[in-house]
Amino acid sequence: MIDKPNFLGWTCPRPLQNYPTIVMGHGSGGKMMADLIHHLFAAAFDNEFLAQMGDSAVIGEWQMADGHPSSDGNLTHLAPRTLNLAFTTDSYVISPLFFPGGNIGELAIYGTVNDLAMRGAKPRYLSAGFILEEGLPLETLGRIVDSMAEACEKAGVRIAAGDTKVVQKGHGDGVYINTSGIGVIPEGVDIAPQNAHPGDVVIVSGTMGDHGIAVISVREGLQFETEIQSDTAPLNGLVEAMLAVPGRHKAAPLHCLRDATRGGLAAVLNELAAASHVGIEFEEKKVPVRPEVNAACEMLGLDPLHIANEGKLVAIALDDQAQEVLLAMRSHPLGKEAAVIGRVVEDHAGLVVAKTTIGGSRVVDLPAGELLPRIC
């Protein structure tokens, strides 16, 4: 130990640059996960579908033999038609299995339905793979599966394939579920993360941060005066309502859709800015956040912009028709609190900048890795 304080000493150690193993931060929807995906998975599996980096992949044209009746109404002359299919997969490992406003089963259905809807697809068929931990009560599994059946009804999808595996006690977290999904993209619909243009308007479908805080509060046994509910919901109905807004120009009114899951609004805006090579500017005070979610975030030292949502989307729409899109959203039960929060700009491509509540400005970045609640 040095006797006198040394103000000119450089005393910081240099840690390992890369983790040799997977750590929790790799799953948080932030930068660490993005790096892992880019450098490991995408590099190994590289193909044009994966390169789309959308919530689901458009896997190209498929000829359908059923077609539609030709103009003379003669059903024997069925013209083949081509459809774009969307395909996606997601795994659900959430703990606790049940939380205010939802459970892992509903999440497994709605999460995948939403990823399809974010490409403008009508979700159709899902697969469901279960990894069950030895010792899981059948009653618990029953509740989860019943929820999934109900969720399928609500979303208008069917589970067409499934699988079940059991692992030894201690090798799972009760239940892990994987669902993959196929959806059909209506003709003329082209929603992709690359489609944002300067001048476009940024809209969120409702309050941010509900799901993540609901889950944290149960996981950590935190009691708030108001119970915060997860917003788990199928967004395909809302998306259909938005797609129904007729275009008045050559370009369609709706350019991009993303659901703001892990990593929150901040992650989505950054991903869109990067994919479209544009800048995004928004106003903090325009982002709807429930007062109780704000309060919980304040206490825990978390940022509502980084918190996961499971029933909210971000839309990027043509300026001229933004109001019509907004109206369509607000007329739907899941979009009642939809709000315009900002714009796509040419400046600072790839960066997202916010006007703060006091009138200053700051860069809004991807969360680094695991969200760490603040000490004091």
Name the segment binding other proteins (CB under 8 A); options: 14-22, 104-112, 169-177, 328-336: 14-22
Q: Does 14 bind other proteins (CB under 8 A)?
A: yes
In sequence order, what DSSP letters do the residues of 73-97 get, joined into one string? --TT-EEEEEEEEEEEEEEE--SSS
Q: What 8-state DSSP symbol labels residue 151?
A: H
Answer for which of 137, 246, 333, 359 binds other proteins (CB under 8 A) is: 359
Name the segment binding other proteins (CB under 8 A); options: 1-9, 143-151, 270-278, 325-333: 1-9
Q: Does 17 bind other proteins (CB under 8 A)?
A: yes
Q: Does 35 bind other proteins (CB under 8 A)?
A: yes
Q: Which is nearer to other proteins, 107 or 300 (CB)?
A: 300
Strands 352-355 and 279-283: parallel
Structure tokens at 371: 């969200």
Q: Which is nearer to other proteins, 315 or 364 (CB)?
A: 364
Answer for which of 65, 75, 138, 375 binds other proteins (CB under 8 A) is: 375
Peptide bond into 96 cis (omega under 30): yes
Q: Apex CA 23: angle with CA 22 and CA 29, to 5°?
A: 100
Q: Which is nearer to other proteins, 68 or 277 (CB)?
A: 277
Answer for which of 21, 63, 168, 223 binds other proteins (CB under 8 A) is: 21
Neighbours of 317 (CB within 10 A): 27
Q: Does 223 bind other proteins (CB under 8 A)?
A: no
CA pair distance 307, 261, nearest whole angstrom: 8
> Around 232, how many Cα atoms within 13 Å sit in the side-chain half-sphere?
26
Q: Does 57 bind other proteins (CB under 8 A)?
A: no
Closest of 150, 121, 343 to residue 240, by C-alpha: 121
Q: Does 362 bind other proteins (CB under 8 A)?
A: yes
Q: Does 72 bind other proteins (CB under 8 A)?
A: no
Q: Which is nearer to other proteins, 5 or 73 (CB)?
A: 5
Answer for which of 43, 138, 244, 358 binds other proteins (CB under 8 A) is: 358
Q: Does 227 bind other proteins (CB under 8 A)?
A: no
Q: Which is nearer to other proteins, 27 or 100 (CB)?
A: 27
Q: Does 172 bind other proteins (CB under 8 A)?
A: no
Contact map string, positions 316 to 355, toward other proteins, x by CB under 8 A: -----------------------------------x----
Q: Rounded to the nearest whole angstrom, what is the least distance from the CB of residue 31 to other proteins in the complex? A: 5
Alpha-carbon 3 to chain mean position: 54
Q: Does 6 bind other proteins (CB under 8 A)?
A: yes
Closest of 250, 262, 236 to residue 334, by C-alpha: 236
Q: Rounded to the nearest whole angstrom, what is the least distance from the CB of residue 100 to other proteins in the complex? A: 19
CA pair distance 199, 279, nearest whole angstrom: 10
CA pair distance 22, 19, nearest whole angstrom: 7
Q: Rounded to the nearest whole angstrom, what is the least distance from the CB of residue 371 to other proteins in the complex? A: 8
CA pair distance 155, 234, nearest whole angstrom: 6
Q: Rounded to the nearest whole angstrom, what is the least distance from the CB of residue 284 to other proteins in the complex? A: 9
Backbone angles phi, psi at 80, to 5 degrees: -70, 150
Name the segment binding other proteins (CB under 8 A); options: 28-36, 60-68, 115-123, 133-141: 28-36
CA pair distance 158, 152, nearest whole angstrom: 6
CA pair distance 116, 123, nearest whole angstrom: 6
Closest of 310, 298, 112, 283 to residue 209, by C-alpha: 310
Three-state SS for 114-179 is HHHHCCCCEEEEEEEEEEEECCCCHHHHHHHHHHHHHHHHHHCCEEEEEEEEEECCCCCCCEEEEE
Site for other proteins in 278-307 (CB under 8 A): 291, 294-295, 298, 300-301
Structure tokens at 159: 């589970």
Asked whether the CA dihedral 64, 87, 93, 150 is positive or negative, the reply is negative
Q: Rounded to the nearest whole angstrom, what is the least distance from the CB of residue 15 to other proteins in the complex? A: 3
Q: Does 40 bind other proteins (CB under 8 A)?
A: no
Q: Which residues bind other proteins (CB under 8 A)?
A: 1-19, 21-25, 31-32, 35, 220, 222, 291, 294-295, 298, 300-301, 351, 356-363, 365, 368-370, 372-376
